[in-house]
Chain A
Amino acid sequence: MDPRELTIDQVRLLLDRGEASAVEICQAHLDCIAQRNPETRALLHQDAAAALEQAAQIDRLRKAGQPLPPLAGVPLVIKDNISIRGQRCTCGSKILENYQALYDATVIARLRAAGSLFVGKANMDEFAMGSSTENSAFFPTRNPHALDYVPGGSSGGSAAAVAAGMAVGALGSDTGGSIRQPASFCGVVGVKPTYGRVSRYGLVAFGSSLDQIGPLARTVKDAARLLGAIAGRDTHDATSATLAVPDYVAAIENPVKGLKVGLPRQYFKAGIAPEVTARIQAGLKLLEQLGCELVEVDLPHTEYAIACYYVVAMAEASSNLSRFDGVRYGLRVHGEGTLTGMYRETRDAGFGNEVKRRIILGTFVLSSGYYDAYYLKAQKVRTLIKQDFEKALAKADVIASPTSPTPPFRLGEKSSDPLAMYLSDIFTITANLAGIPGISLPCGRTSSGLPIGLQLLGKHFDECTLLRLGHAFEIAGGFALN
């Protein structure tokens, strides 16, 4: 059993045939973590005993001849901004270094009921603010394909763990590309569901109108299985959609011939690395060979998307992060003995620079006298961007682009210039602004072996088409590991 190549279906086969117990499968992943985590630093902390106990429960069901739940014995890594009862949930921040979650996030409760095991909590940019995992307050994560390179971010630990074989799949969160871009950098599949498709209860909030939890996996089919397990209405999250959850695994087998793939004329301009362009062009040719029709579409407000996104995201972040004040949980620093002194000293000591920068900007754009000029303006531009996608997706079933304009970059290469880091999010942030789903698919490697990702964006609640086309694409391209 090589944990780097296991899929959910294979875990089930091993269990059904009696070739391995759930405890053995879990242990193989814990061994892989012991071997690969010291160099990649994908995980922040883990509760191995709890994972082995979950596995032992599955083995007890097997021995008793009981039917197994759908994800029985599947080891998963969870981004450290998603609550697992009794485990720390740090968000990659000093301010929550010792915070222990009191309850399971809805996605965790659902995965637990489905029989999966939680083998570790993944490193991330502090409060999911970043595109490289270098903004973790604890340490940066390294790309398992090339240790001098970043794994992407903010769900960099989740993506690196899946690529390195520490888990069969992972959960991340995506506010502006934080699942899709690290999936692209680490050569795995990442899905950002439609806003409202997956409950956010138990996810520490960053941008509440943008955040979605989604799966990372080594195959599209595994991503479909994980999405099916976590999606659906949750009364703990009023923004979760009441729409029924389709059978994603059944949907991926449907034919893709005749699907229209939209290519935004604004996307394929200067600014994309030549090696990315070459791999994406080859990927588009593959889609044509699968019987898809490539059509040009128009997204005229693309150039405004980054500015719009950062105003909205920082405003929401500054509001959400006001809860960290040293009173009810997390770090407390006393200051000069006054209440406001304590708030200010706690937040100064507990937050890193990127978080402070965003809180200051977010507070500024919401402040009296600037609200209309910045925040309200951005929310209006957001409407225009959303309408762009409605029109484009009336002409095409999906929209294709690179996930990131560049291959993975070296650690330290962009960390000194926040704006340069923001600009690399151009292809991913629009899905969050418009609330539509997106998937990043492995699409070959650079000449030096660094992964490149193809992104597909779809209509609201049409994850089925993304998964179906992704499944056909990874098989035709030989990109799927299995």
Chain B
Amino acid sequence: MIIGPKEVEYVGKLAQLAITEDEKQLFIGQLNSILEFVEQLNRLDTSNVEPTAHVVLAADQSAALRPDEPIMTFTQEQSLANGPETGAGHFKVPKVISDR
């Protein structure tokens, strides 16, 4: 077993996912069978292979960039339009600093 309940909990924390006990049980089996399947990559010797950084451009080519000029995108009102809780021109979130 590559990944157990502890690892799933740890990774869940990294990924900011609350995972229920039921989900944990379901995922552990499925995740292990996928990871065991992935293990086959280790049969390949890749010690002299460069990792792919871009599929079309060669390593010495860079993407075409546009001039860095400011453009008008969205107004503050538009930017806030999808916010679940907004006020005074801001996105509201729960209190971050704890009380003494």
Residues of A within 8 A of B (CB): 99-100, 102-103, 194-196, 209, 233, 235, 238-239, 241-242, 301, 303-304, 306-308, 310-311, 318, 322, 325-332, 334-335, 337-345, 347-348, 351, 353, 356-357, 359-361, 363-364, 367, 373-374, 376-384, 386, 418-419, 422, 433-435, 460
Q: Could you say which residues of chain A place their CB within 8 Å of the CB of B14?
A: 363, 367
Residue-wise, chain B 41-59 has the 8 Å CB interface mask toward A (1 for contact) of 1101010011111111000
Task: Determine if B40 and A303 form an interchain contact, defined as CB atoms under 8 angstroms apart.
Answer: yes
Bound form: Cα–Cα A460–B57 in Å: 10
Please report the C-alpha to C-alpha distance between residue A322 and residue B15 in the assembled complex, in whole angstroms.
7
- Assess the A377–B78 pair: CB atoms within 8 A: no
Asked if B5 is at the interface (CB within 8 A of a chain A CB), the reply is no
A-B contact pairs, 11 of them (CB 8 A): A99-B82, A102-B74, A102-B79, A326-B84, A328-B83, A347-B16, A351-B17, A360-B19, A384-B46, A419-B34, A422-B34
In the complex, chain B residues whose CB is within 8 Å of the CB of A344: 16-18
Q: Of B16, B52, B95, which is within 8 A of A386 by CB?
A: B52
List chain B residues, Cβ under 8 A from A310: 34, 38
Given A239-B63, A338-B94, A377-B41: A361 touches B35 (CB 8 Å cut-off): yes
Task: Give chain B's interface residues, CB within 8 Å of chain A.
Answer: 3, 7-8, 11-12, 14-20, 23, 26-27, 30-31, 33-35, 37-38, 40-42, 44, 46, 49-56, 63-66, 74, 78-79, 81-85, 91, 93-96
Given A342-B93, A356-B19; A374-B38 close (CB under 8 Å): yes
- Cα–Cα, bound, A380→B17 (Å): 29
* Residue pair B65, A238 in contact (C-beta under 8 Å): yes
User: What is the distance, in angstroms, from B90's C-beta to the closest C-beta of chain A?
Assistant: 11
Q: Shortest Cβ distance from A377 into chain B, in angstroms?
A: 5
A322 CA to B78 CA, complexed, in Å: 22
Tell me which residues across on chain A come within 8 A of B64, comparing CB atoms.
233, 238, 241-242
A353 neighbours in B (Cβ, 8 Å): 23, 26
**Chain B residues positioned under 8 Å from A334 (CB to CB):** 94
Specify which chain A residues have a CB less than 8 angstroms from the CB of B18 in the assembled complex: 335, 344-345, 347-348
User: B52: which A residues are within 8 A, CB to CB?
Assistant: 209, 379-380, 382-383, 386
Q: In the complex the two chains form, is A435's CB within 8 Å of B55's CB?
A: yes
Given A339-B94, A367-B14, A380 and B81 touching (CB < 8 A)? no
Interface of B is mostly: loop
Cβ contacts under 8 Å, B51 to chain A: 376, 379-380, 382-383
Is there contact, CB below 8 Å, between B46 and A381? Answer: yes
User: Are A307 and B41 closer than 8 Å at their CB atoms?
Assistant: yes
The reply to whether B16 and A340 contact each other, CB–CB distance below 8 Å, is yes
Contacts A353-B26, A361-B31; is A330 near B82 (CB within 8 Å)?
yes
- Beta-carbon contact of A364 and B11 below 8 Å: yes
How many Å lie between the Cα of A303 and that of B37 in the bound state?
11
Q: Which residues of B contact A341 (CB under 8 A)?
A: 94
Give the residue name and chain of the B residue nearest to A460 (CB): B56
User: Is B34 a contact partner of A361 (Cβ separation < 8 A)?
Assistant: yes
Q: How far is the CA of A374 from the CA of B3 in the complex (A)?
A: 13
Q: Is the CB of A386 within 8 A of B27?
A: no
Which residues from chain A contact B50 at a C-beta distance below 8 Å? 380, 383
- Taken together as a complex, chains A and B put the C-alpha atoms of A310 and B18 apart, in Å, by 23
Please give, as numbers and ranges, the residues of chain B lying within 8 Å of A102 by CB-CB distance.
74, 78-79, 81-82
CA distance A196 to B81 in the complex (A): 31
Q: Chain B residues near A242 (CB, 8 Å)?
A: 64
- Nearest chain-A residue to B53 (Cβ)? A379
Contact in complex: A339, B84 (CB < 8 Å): no
User: Can you name 13 extra interface pairs (CB under 8 A) apart from A310-B38, A351-B17?
Assistant: A209-B54, A241-B64, A304-B41, A307-B41, A311-B41, A328-B82, A329-B84, A330-B84, A348-B19, A356-B23, A357-B31, A381-B49, A383-B49
